[in-house]
Amino acid sequence: MSVQVALSRRSKKEETVSTSISIPNSRDVKAMSRFSIARWLGCVTILLVLRSVAMAEEPKTAASRPVLLFTVPEYCEGIVFDHAGNGYISHGAEITRFTPDGKRSLWATTGAPNGHKILADGTHLVCDKSQHAVLRLSANGKPLTPAATDCDGKPLRGPNDLTLDTPHGGFYFTDPEESDLENRIGTVHYVDHNGKTSLIDHGLAYPNGIVLSPDGKRLWVGESMTNRVLVYEVEGPGKVKNRKIFAQLPLKNDQLGQINNLPDGMCLDDQGNLYVAHYGMQRVQVLDPSGKWIKQLDGGNLTTSNVAFGGPKMNRLFVTGGLATGQGGLFRLDLEGTKGLTITPQISLHSEK
């Protein structure tokens, strides 16, 4: 008769329990005292409790299956939709536009486009690493005066993602370039309605995806190299305080044989849940407003880069990233009972200089 319990700790929020229980045969039972039987039953009870707790704490991959819409030659990201329902994704030096009926065309060529948002007047804001700027493009993809190129006289290293602060006419963006765990020089910035760029945080290990809550009171930033999401309290336009760890994301199963776990682009649904593209995990992690990990979605791509809600009912989650072939893939997940928040504002930000 033997009872064995193996606990394998993968993260602070995730435990797996494997059990091996030998059931005594009739001869063993006759030889066992009442005390021995009670002790054996007690061990079995403990095992079952541990197993049920572990299973309860580990969210399952949701059933919605990703549908591949199309591929592009390179890894893709920067998914966004305009007021007419047209979508845009960045890959290589290009931005591809696709219509609701699936027609695709080259919309713009910049340098290394990434995070992308669209203003009410049709102007596009695009983070571009190679141009070390947040670009401004017209509705037909023509370059305008950049929205941000420096902060306090220092050139930007390589903006990655941005989120609009529509009520105040500004936006936040991340600049992670050249930062990592040993060189924590990543920064977060704010551009106000007059076009002035200010520093709101620094010392980060690759700040990546960024999202502002609809009420403008909370700002989330994915810190890729630490595999976590940070949250700030927003006091006013470009003024934040009390940076905290919102969530430490799960670690990958080694059997996936992929690269590291890195939070990337993010978006919100109308219940305040945060959807995080988890690069290297093939997953989109879903966190509730308190930071609790509630479920994960299959992102379709080998590496998951960005997410955005779209479709007529705003219940379709679009996911970008990279396939094993080296191509970029755009996947769609139909999420019944879930509605995303639109990221197309109803008023314009600061005017063209």
Q: How confident is the model at residue 127 (pLDDT cuts 50, 70, 90)?
A: very high
> In terms of pTM, does the model score above 0.75?
yes
**29 by DSSP, 3-state: which?**
helix
Residue 280: what pLDDT? 87
**225 by DSSP, 3-state: which?**
helix
Supply the residues annotated as catalytic: 264
In this structure, which amino acid lies at residue 121? D
Strands 162-165 and 170-175: antiparallel
pLDDT at 42 over 70: no
- CA nearest to 78, candidates 231, 209, 176: 209
Q: pLDDT of 246-276, one tens digit each?
A: 999 998 765 444 467 899 999 999 999 999 9
Q: What is the mean pLDDT of residues 37-45?
A: 43
Q: What is the mean pLDDT of residues 284-292?
A: 98
Give the annotated binding-site residues. Answer: 160, 208, 264
Q: Could you tell me what percent of the chain has a pLDDT over 70?
A: 77
> What is the distance between the alpha carbons of residues 216 and 90, in angstroms, rounded to a whole number?
27
Domain residue ranges of the chain, discontinuous segments joined by +: 3-57, 67-334
- CA nearest to 314, candidates 275, 285, 283, 265: 275
Of 299 and 55, the structure prediction assigns the larger pLDDT to: 299
- CA nearest to 294, candidates 60, 109, 99, 50: 60
Q: State the Rg of the chain over Cα.
A: 24
Give the annotated binding-site residues for a divalent metal cation. Answer: 208, 264
The distance of Cα 47 from the centroid of its chain, to the nearest Å, equals 35
Q: What is the CATH number of domain 67-334?
A: 2.120.10.30
What value does the mean pLDDT of the chain take? 84
Q: How far apart are the first and last CA of the chain?
A: 80
Side-by-side strand order, sheet with 218-223: 207-212, 218-223, 228-236, 239-248
pLDDT at 67 over 90: yes
> What is the distance between the alpha carbons of residues 124 and 89, in angstroms, rounded to a whole number?
12
Q: What is the mean pLDDT of residues 43-63?
A: 44
| Dihedral angle over CA of 129, 133, 137, 143, nearest 10 | -90
Cβ neighbours of residue 241 closer than 8 Å, sequence gap 6 or more = 232, 233, 235
Side-by-side strand order, sheet with 197-204: 162-165, 170-175, 186-191, 197-204
> What is the distance between the alpha carbons of residues 318 and 269, in angstroms, rounded to a whole number?
13
Phi, psi of 347 (to 5 degrees): -130, 160
pLDDT at 4 over 90: no
In this structure, which amino acid lies at residue 192? D
> What is the distance between the alpha carbons of residues 137 and 134, in angstroms, rounded to a whole number?
10
The distance of Cα 263 from the centroid of its chain, to the nearest Å, equals 5
> What is the distance between the alpha carbons of residues 311 and 140, in angstroms, rounded to a whole number?
22
Residue 154: what pLDDT? 97
> What is the distance between the alpha carbons of residues 272 and 296, in angstroms, rounded to a whole number?
16
Give the annotated binding-site residues for substrate. Answer: 160
76-80, 120-124, 241-245: which has the minimum mean pLDDT?
120-124
